Amino acid sequence: MMSTHLGKLIIAVDCDGVLSDFVGRCAEVVAARHGVHFTVDQVTQWDFVTTPGWKKDFFQHCKEPGFVYGMQVLPGAVWGVDKLREFGRVICITSPFGGAPVWASEREAWLRDHFRFDRKDIVQCDDKSLITRAVLLDDNPENIQGDDLLIDRPWNQHAAGLVRACAWDTAVAYVRVVLNQ
Ligand SMILES: [Mg+2]
């Protein structure tokens, strides 16, 4: 039985690494503040430890006002979310950066301004297994359960045995099949 809410299928999408370019924003801010340059492809671990020139202190910039709202939309994401909305109610489940006072409010504004997400369709929490959905698109293997789809990124290559999508068109095609639409 597919998970529904008030008769509608719930299709969930993660934000960072799926809709928003968190890693690219880190690269931009670190280059500007520290003159340290790296590419998104050089981020092959969640904690950036293998990224050339990365220092743990750089994560402090993620807590600054403007960091979240300044993120770029990932290619194809606006198209993808619009397609998913043809299948059901699309919600965003996103985990806020710990200890960042303006993260949640900036994220809500960003999701509204780029994707027309109403605040009732945004869930900000760390444990995504608490949220019932038919399917979730996420780049973190730890969040994947049931029919969820892993979005392929340089930092999740180590995860084996999960269904993954490298682009939005294949992700939408997968969801269509899983939801039988
Ligand atoms: Mg993510």
User: Could you tell me the distance, in angstroms and rounded to a whole number, from the CA of residue 150 to the centre of ligand 1?
Assistant: 10
Low-confidence residues of the chain: pLDDT under 50: none
Mean pLDDT over all residues of the chain? Answer: 96
User: Could you tell me the distance, in angstroms and rounded to a whole number, from the CA of residue 140 to the centre of ligand 1?
Assistant: 6
User: Could you tell me the distance, in angstroms and rounded to a whole number, from the CA of residue 165 to the centre of ligand 1?
Assistant: 14
The residue ranges of every structural domain in the chain are 4-21+72-178, 23-63
The CATH number of domain 4-21+72-178 is 3.30.830.10 = no
pTM, 2 dp: 0.95
CB atoms within 10 A of CB 110: 19
Interior angle at CA 56, CA 50 and CA 60, nearest 5: 135
User: Could you tell me the distance, in angstroms and rounded to a whole number, from the CA of residue 4 to the centre of ligand 1?
Assistant: 23
Per-residue confidence (pLDDT) for residue 4, from 0 to 100:
74
Per-residue confidence (pLDDT) for residue 1, from 0 to 100:
59
User: Could you tell me the distance, in angstroms and rounded to a whole number, from the CA of residue 33 to the centre of ligand 1?
Assistant: 24
User: Could you tell me the distance, in angstroms and rounded to a whole number, from the CA of residue 83 to the centre of ligand 1?
Assistant: 20
Phi, psi torsion values for 143, nearest 5 degrees: -90, -5
Per-residue confidence (pLDDT) for residue 8, from 0 to 100:
84
Question: How many angstroms separate the CA atoms of 122 and 118, rounded?
Answer: 7
